[in-house]
Amino acid sequence: MATLGQIIFYSMVTLIVIFSAFIILILVLAFKNSSSAVLSSDAAPVANFGQDELLSCYLSVPATSAQISLTQVSVTWEKTDMNGLVYQFVNGAPNLVNQNSQFAGRTQLFPNELASGNASLLLRSVMSSDQGVYTCTISSSGGGGKVNINLRTAAFSAPTFTLSNGSLGAVANWWSPKPNVTWKDANENALDGNTSFTQNSAGIFSVVSTLQSVNMSSTYTCKIANNLVAAVSKATVTESGVSGNSYFVYSAASSLLASTYLNILTSIYYLT
Ligand X SMILES: *[C@@H]1O[C@H](CO)[C@@H](O)[C@H](O)[C@H]1NC(C)=O
Candidates 11, 33, 60, 180: give the one binding ligand X (CB under 6 A).
180
Binding to ligand X by residue 42, rule CB under 6 A? no
Contacts by residues 145-150 (CB-CB < 8 Å, ≥ 24 positions apart): 145/36, 145/37, 145/38, 145/59, 146/36, 146/38, 147/36, 147/38, 147/39, 147/40, 147/43, 147/57, 148/43, 149/40, 149/42, 149/43, 149/44, 149/45, 149/55, 149/56, 149/57, 150/43, 150/44, 150/253
Nearest distance from residue 146's CB to ligand X, in Å? 16
Number of residues that bind ligand X (CB under 6 A): 21
Give the nearer residue to ligand X in terms of CB position, either 106 or 264. Answer: 106
Give the nearer residue to ligand X in terms of CB position, either 118 or 221. Answer: 118
Candidates 35, 213, 254, 267: give the one binding ligand X (CB under 6 A).
213
Binding to ligand X by residue 113, rule CB under 6 A? yes
Give the nearer residue to ligand X in terms of CB position, either 16 or 52. Answer: 52
Binding to ligand X by residue 241, rule CB under 6 A? no
Integer Cα distance of 126 and 51 in angstroms: 6
Give the nearer residue to ligand X in terms of CB position, either 219 or 260. Answer: 219
Binding to ligand X by residue 198, rule CB under 6 A? no
Give the nearer residue to ligand X in terms of CB position, either 3 or 165. Answer: 165
Candidates 3, 165, 217, 254: give the one binding ligand X (CB under 6 A).
165
Q: Which residues bind ligand X (CB under 6 A)?
A: 54, 58, 110, 113, 118, 120, 165-166, 180, 185, 191-192, 194, 211-215, 225-227
